């Protein structure tokens, strides 16, 4: 594996979301938190979605601790953001997601050979979960911080865990991000419908697979844009919640027959190749979750004939019917800056404090969460920075 080199993959060169614009400025709560809670001596290996919005986050971390490697998740890596950080830090963009975890482990092994400092991995998707045993054997490696539900589930499957893993995925602060994620997913679906299908979202029926945190926010945003929203969740209580929220509940197969657009936000394999039989002619498939989890993309492609593929749109023909797949089954909101807004300042601050917890003392192996008192303090600082308090200063 080449050392410290940006591997510009074809997918990366064609990344549609690489705008030139003003730099995203710093995150005030994060900066304040690094002063209020200084980082003890420790080094960092960072796996992150390197979007423009992540640049000030990485720079702030690098001010308070040595960053031995920044590994960009390939499907979200924005070339301008990676290039800006690569001038200051060692940045890698692996050519496929399967290389992310092994590369992080290799960088961690190199770092722990070079230095006796404590080392922490901060990541975003459970990329290192299957490598926990290997990581636990590295001297100095204090643990992992995980950002996402998908990643948390991967670490939970490795029980008994041999390393401490701090997760923010089910934290009450991270839950505040769900509304912004829902807005981004609905925005990207609407944008693609307008730009590629010349259709209005308000005239289409959208089936949402999964009614958890992201599904709830996505369904709400879709409906506010005028769509008829149908919902299916494996959990009957979540189905009841969808009814309370005013959406139409459907048995799974019926939802797939009904929907013009199917949005997968379950964080699981909600749609298999066998489900192609159920779809309407012209149905559109969009993921709003993680990686290529929602749809069995290889299975769907193997069963159907590819008629046309351009940028983020693949037109497939299955059994005489047309099916459109958006962004090759990856989350559509990563085409348009993923998540935006001040809530990132809160999420990044919680990631920082979890990293600091691992650097500050030895934690026993297993899953850990940030102390609720610290979460309250972060929320107070963030509300002061981004709520009404900013007008009073």
Ligand X SMILES: NC(=O)c1ccc[n+]([C@@H]2O[C@H](COP(=O)([O-])OP(=O)(O)OC[C@H]3O[C@@H](n4cnc5c(N)ncnc54)[C@H](O)[C@@H]3O)[C@@H](O)[C@H]2O)c1
Residues that bind ligand X in the complex, under the rule CB under 6 A: 148-150, 181, 209-215, 232-235, 238, 265-268, 270, 288-290, 331, 333, 338-339
How far apart are alpha carbons 389 and 393 in whole angstroms?
Answer: 7
Least Cβ distance, residue 208 to ligand X (angstroms):
9
Q: What is the DSSP letter of 197?
A: I
Work out how close the CB of 209 gets to ligand X at its nearest, in angstroms, rounded to a whole number.
5
Beta pairing class for 305-310 and 313-318: antiparallel
User: Is 257 or 384 the residue whose CB approaches ligand X more closely?
Assistant: 257
CB nearer ligand X, residue 298 or residue 389: 298
- Comparing CB distances to ligand X, the nearer of 150 and 227 is 150
Q: How far is the CB of 37 from ligand X (least distance, A)?
A: 25
Measured CA to CA in angstroms, residue 325 lies from 14, 229, 262 at distances of 18, 19, 10
Reference 210, options 246, 176, 252, 273; nearest CA is 252
Shortest Å, Cβ 59 to ligand X? 22
Judged by beta carbon, residue 235 or residue 309, the one nearer ligand X is 235
Q: Alpha-carbon torsion 376, 382, 383, 385, what sign?
A: positive
Q: Which is nearer to ligand X, 118 or 148 (CB)?
A: 148
Name every residue whose Cβ is closer than 8 Å to that of residue 350 and which is 6 or more positions away in sequence: 168, 171, 173, 174, 370, 375, 378
CA 200, CA 360: separation in Å to the nearest integer?
52
Looking at the Cβ atoms of 205 and 384, the one nearer to ligand X is 205
Taking the C-alpha atoms of residue 379 and residue 173, their distance in angstroms, rounded to an integer, is 7
Tell me how far, at minimum, the Cβ of 87 lies from ligand X, in Å: 27
Residue nearest to ligand X (CB): 212
Q: What are phi and psi of 315, to 5 degrees?
A: -105, 120
CB of 265 to ligand X, least distance (A): 6
Give least dist CB 90 to ligand X, A.
26
Q: Helix, strand, coil % (nearest 5) of the chain?
A: 45, 20, 35
The distance of closest approach from Cβ of residue 190 to ligand X in the complex, given in angstroms and rounded to an integer, is 15
**Cα dihedral sign, 114-117-122-126:** positive
Q: Which is nearer to ligand X, 265 or 351 (CB)?
A: 265
Per-residue exposure over 211-225, b if at least 16 CB sit within 10 Å of its own CB, e if not: bbbbbbbbbbbbbeb
Which CB sits closer to ligand X, 89 or 169? 169
Q: Give the dihedral sign, CA 186/233/270/204.
A: negative
């Amino acid at each position: 594996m080449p050392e410290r080199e940006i591997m510009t993959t074809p997918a990366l060169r064609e990344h549609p979301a690489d705008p030139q614009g003003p730099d995203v400025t710093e995150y005030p709560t994060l900066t304040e938190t690094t002063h209020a809670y200084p980082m003890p001596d420790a080094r960092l290996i960072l796996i992150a979605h390197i979007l423009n919005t992540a640049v000030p986050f990485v720079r702030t971390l690098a001010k308070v601790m040595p960053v031995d490697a920044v590994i960009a998740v390939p499907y979200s890596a924005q070339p301008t953001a990676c290039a800006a950080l690569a001038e200051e830090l060692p940045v890698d963009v692996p050519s496929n997601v399967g290389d992310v975890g092994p590369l992080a482990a290799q960088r961690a092994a190199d770092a722990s050979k070079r230095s006796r400092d404590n080392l922490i991995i901060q990541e975003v998707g459970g990329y290192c979960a299957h490598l926990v045993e290997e990581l636990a054997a590295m001297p100095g490696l204090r643990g992992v911080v995980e950002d996402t539900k998908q990643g948390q589930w991967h670490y939970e499957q490795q029980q008994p865990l041999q390393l401490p893993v701090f997760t923010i995925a089910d934290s009450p602060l991270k839950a505040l991000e769900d509304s912004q994620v829902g807005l981004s997913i609905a925005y990207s679906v609407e944008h693609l419908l307008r730009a590629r299908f010349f259709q209005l979202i308000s005239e289409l029926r959208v089936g949402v697979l999964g009614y958890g945190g992201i599904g709830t926010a996505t369904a709400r945003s879709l409906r506010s844009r005028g769509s008829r929203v149908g919902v299916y969740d494996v959990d009957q209580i979540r189905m009841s919640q969808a009814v309370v929220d005013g959406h139409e509940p459907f048995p799974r197969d019926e939802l797939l027959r009904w929907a013009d657009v199917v949005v997968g936000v379950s964080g699981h394999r909600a749609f298999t190749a066998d489900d192609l039989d159920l779809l309407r002619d012209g149905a559109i498939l969009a993921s709003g979750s993680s990686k290529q989890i929602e749809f069995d993309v290889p299975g769907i492609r193997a069963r159907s004939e590819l008629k046309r593929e351009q940028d983020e749109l693949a037109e497939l023909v299955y059994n005489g019917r047309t099916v459109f797949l958006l962004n090759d089954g990856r989350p559509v909101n990563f085409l348009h800056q993923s998540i935006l807004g001040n809530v990132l300042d809160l999420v990044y601050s919680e990631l920082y404090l979890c990293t600091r917890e691992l650097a500050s003392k030895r934690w026993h192996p297993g899953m850990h969460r940030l102390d609720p008192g610290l979460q309250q303090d972060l929320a107070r600082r963030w509300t002061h920075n981004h709520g009404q308090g900013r007008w009073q200063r």
